Amino acid sequence: MAIIFAFINHTSFMTRFSVAFLITFFFGIYIGVAQVSADCANAIPICNNTPINEGTDGYGVDDFNGASISGCIKQGSGTIESNSAWYRFKTGESGELGINIGFDVSEDWDFALYKTDDCNNLGEPVRCNYFDNSDNNTYTGFGEDPTGVDNFQYDDYLQVESGEEYYLFINNYSNNNSGFSIQFSGNIFVEFPYTALDCSIINNLLGAPMAVCEGEAVELNAATTDAIGYEWYMDTGSGYQRLLSENGPTIQPTVSALYRVVVMVPSGFNIVSDVQVAFSKMPVTEAVSDEWVCLDDSVFDLSIKKKEALGSQNADDFRVTFHKTMSDAINGIDPLPDNYVPNTALQTIYIRTASVENTNCFDVSDSFTIHGIETPQLDFSAEIYICEDAPFATIGQENSNSAYEYMWSTGDTSSQITVDQEGVYSLMAINTQGGVSCMTERSVTVVFSKPPVILDIETQYMDDDNTVIILTEENGHYEYQLDDGMPQGQPVFYNLLPGVHTVSVADLNGCGIDMEELVIVGFSKFFTPNGDGANDTWKVEGLSVIENPVVTIYDRYGKLLYQMRGDGPGWDGTFNGVPMPSTDYWFKLSYTDASGLTKIAKHINSHFSIKR
């Protein structure tokens, strides 16, 4: 009888004697049990957060009628329920709703939420969890874990409409459990803090369990028409004790306890009502110092500021979050990540310190400022070339900032320096504010660059393609050009027509240019002056496009054998009418250039043979 009595909302007795007897009997065996119902039919109606109760013990009747599974909740040893608690609530508004069920980290609690107004027709749960607590989380539920951890046991927020009724089933598979609390969350409580849930379903005379903040004014009102007296009792864990000074319809609790009122009425059917009131400590946010950070996309660890905000308060009892606006801090939404990247020169960070067991107990009285320090920007060229004819170069940042400190690897302290040696030079720019130095370092490679020199031009004569290859003294950063054509990065030109051409090699770093003139002509590598009418003479082709061409032929000893001007018939292989032997011969080609000067054509492979 005593255990049942703890769950009764309205109980009537025939006489005052019977009430006194039962209360006396109850004191002897009562263990502080909070408002918890093991059966769906007697589910505790709630419309706000509940305090931590003292756990569950058994399951009463089988609310699942022998079923082995309900949604994600599976059968334990015989029934789905082991140590169960049932609650019900009704939505007063529409929006996004979440529930956090808090418990000891060493315990394993499961839950299922049913959208129904009938315990005999629960249907499938709209949210549930059946995972073990191997990750040692302190919450399960749906929405977002209030500790900020990535808790895989959480489902998404539930979108609800006004007037919907729900039953919440909470279960523990161990007989050893220390209880749990229920916290509501979601934007529905931000937009409608007082009407998100419909409190008209509370039929207990003293109302639903109360989770309130330390120092908050609380009134328990048992006012009843025709009452002839009131007796109040309080249980802090060792049984109900009479509050002898309280005999009116209301009291103002100041400590956490189970409270009971006995309302005496003329009929003798006295009313007994219980309610749990739990006061949570009200946090105080300690002063937090400002911070100076570099605006270089580096991460600032906000978690180091939590210790400042908590001071001597226990981190297990309170949670500190940081927010961009005071509104977000008040509503407990959009907390900043611990790994935060500041991006403005001045930013106020608002601090919310909240009770873990009752998130409605919070302090947002303090904030701190993050001063963003500009990180210097260095954008000078990373490579500089010094020409031999001007062996000096100015390197570094052209547009300096007087607020910055500059330091070169050479020891110089200006933003630019002049150098005359090859090598790698590094500049560091430093911006110091609030004792924090933000720095950027950039290096420049200085290279001596010599003017290009054309060493040789190789000419390859083909029947349908004349190719030239330009050879330079060094492999520099050059571009090559033929006549007035487009410059190119490769020193090879194809398909050259006969005539006079100009090739140029330019240093891309502005350190000079070299040019050469070459003549493209055609000639046979050998001829056979044997009088058979085939290939009996040797000549140079393509002279018609050259001004005043003169071809002079020599033997290997440099003896002049023959000279022909213009586009003549060619050499017949004789000298003074005597046939020359089968061997190698050389020739030179002279011509008049565009300025009227006579030149010897260079870069011609001027070698051919007689075969008899």
The stretch 460-475 carries a mean pLDDT of: 83
Percent of the chain with pLDDT over 70: 93
Beta bridge partners of 210: 277
Burial readout 198-207 (b: 16 or more C-beta within 10 A, e: otherwise) = bbeebebbbb
Q: In terms of Cα–Cα distance, which of 178, 187, 183 is closest to 34?
A: 178
Instruction: Please check the confidence at residue 8 and state whether its pLDDT lies above 60.
Output: no
The continuous run of DSSP H or E covering 571 comes out as none
Which fold would CATH assign to domain 454-520? Immunoglobulin-like (2.60.40)
427 band by pLDDT with thresholds 50, 70 and 90: very high
Instruction: Please check the confidence at residue 5 and state whether its pLDDT lies above 60.
Output: no
The stretch 160-168 carries a mean pLDDT of: 97
Give the integer Cα–Cα distance in Å for 524 and 447: 47
Lowest average pLDDT, out of 253-267, 381-395, 492-506, 579-593, goes to 381-395
DSSP 362: E
Instruction: Determine how many CB atoms are found less than 10 A away from the CB of residue 246.
Output: 17
Give the integer Cα–Cα distance in Å for 223 and 245: 17
Alpha helices in 145-212 (DSSP H): 187-191
Q: Classify burial at 44, counting beta carbons within 10 Å of its beta carbon; exposed 0-12, middle 13-18, buried 19 or more.
A: buried
148 band by pLDDT with thresholds 50, 70 and 90: confident
Query: What is the pLDDT at residue 357?
Result: 85
Instruction: Please check the confidence at residue 40 and state whether its pLDDT lies above 90.
Output: yes
Are 292 and 436 spatial neighbours (Cβ–Cβ below 8 Å)?
Answer: yes
Give the integer Cα–Cα distance in Å for 189 and 96: 8
Instruction: Please check the confidence at residue 85 and state whether its pLDDT lies above 90.
Output: yes
Instruction: Please check the confidence at residue 51 and state whether its pLDDT lies above 70.
Output: yes
The continuous run of DSSP H or E covering 305 comes out as helix 304-310
Q: In terms of Cα–Cα distance, which of 130, 137, 136, 93 is closest to 112?
A: 130
Residue 492, phi-psi category: left (phi > 0), alpha (psi -120 to 50), beta (remainder): beta
Q: Helix (H, G, I), strand (E, B), or coil: what is residue 24?
A: helix
More confidently predicted of 78 and 354: 354
303 band by pLDDT with thresholds 50, 70 and 90: very high
Give the integer Cα–Cα distance in Å for 298 and 341: 6
Instruction: Please check the confidence at residue 24 and state whether its pLDDT lies above 50.
Output: no
Sign (positive or negative) of CA dihedral 341, 347, 353, 356: negative
Q: What is the CA radius of gyration of the chain?
A: 49
Six-digit token string for 21? 């007897």
Instruction: Please check the confidence at residue 14 and state whether its pLDDT lies above 80.
Output: no
What single letter denotes the amino acid at residue 461?
Y
The stretch 471-491 carries a mean pLDDT of: 92
> Which residue has 């004819």 as its token pair?
389
What single letter denotes the amino acid at residue 226?
D
The stretch 506-527 carries a mean pLDDT of: 89
Query: What is the pLDDT at residue 481?
Result: 96
469 band by pLDDT with thresholds 50, 70 and 90: very high
Six-digit token string for 296? 């270089």
Which fold would CATH assign to domain 522-610? Immunoglobulin-like (2.60.40)
12 band by pLDDT with thresholds 50, 70 and 90: very low
Class of domain 1-33+210-280: mainly beta
Give the integer Cα–Cα distance in Å for 606 and 288: 90
What single letter denotes the amino acid at residue 22?
L
35 band by pLDDT with thresholds 50, 70 and 90: low
Burial readout 85-107 (b: 16 or more C-beta within 10 A, e: otherwise) = bbbbbbbbbbbbbbbbbbbeeeb
Q: Helix (H, G, I), strand (E, B), or coil: what is residue 493?
A: strand
Query: What is the pLDDT at residue 268?
Result: 83
Q: In terms of Cα–Cα distance, which of 82, 78, 145, 73 is closest to 111?
A: 73
More confidently predicted of 447 and 1: 447
More confidently predicted of 163 and 524: 163
CA neighbours closer than 13 Å in the CB half-sphere of residue 110: 24
Give domain 36-203's CATH number out of 1.10.3720.10, 3.40.50.720, 3.20.20.70, 2.60.120.380. Answer: 2.60.120.380
Query: What is the pLDDT at residue 164?
Result: 97
Query: What is the pLDDT at residue 175?
Result: 66
Q: Classify burial at 237, counting beta carbons within 10 Å of its beta carbon; exposed 0-12, middle 13-18, buried 19 or more.
A: exposed
Q: What pTM does this model have? A: 0.61
Six-digit token string for 203? 């039929």
Beta bridge partners of 231: 262
27 band by pLDDT with thresholds 50, 70 and 90: very low
Percent of the chain with pLDDT over 90: 61
The continuous run of DSSP H or E covering 98 comes out as strand 95-103
What single letter denotes the amino acid at residue 566?
G
Give the integer Cα–Cα distance in Å for 129 and 100: 12
Instruction: Please check the confidence at residue 23 and state whether its pLDDT lies above 50.
Output: no
Query: What is the pLDDT at residue 464?
Result: 65
Give the integer Cα–Cα distance in Å for 168 and 264: 34
Q: How many residues does the chain have?
A: 612
Q: Who contacts 64 (Cβ-Cβ below 8 Å, separation ≥6)?
A: 70, 79, 80, 81, 122
Give the integer Cα–Cα distance in Å for 272 and 2: 13
The continuous run of DSSP H or E covering 8 comes out as none
**Phi, psi (rounded to 5 degrees) for 115:** -90, 95
pLDDT, one tens digit per residue, over 370-402 is 999 999 999 999 998 888 777 788 999 999 999
Name the most confidently modeled range: 152-156, 346-350, 601-605: 346-350
Query: What is the pLDDT at residue 463?
Result: 61
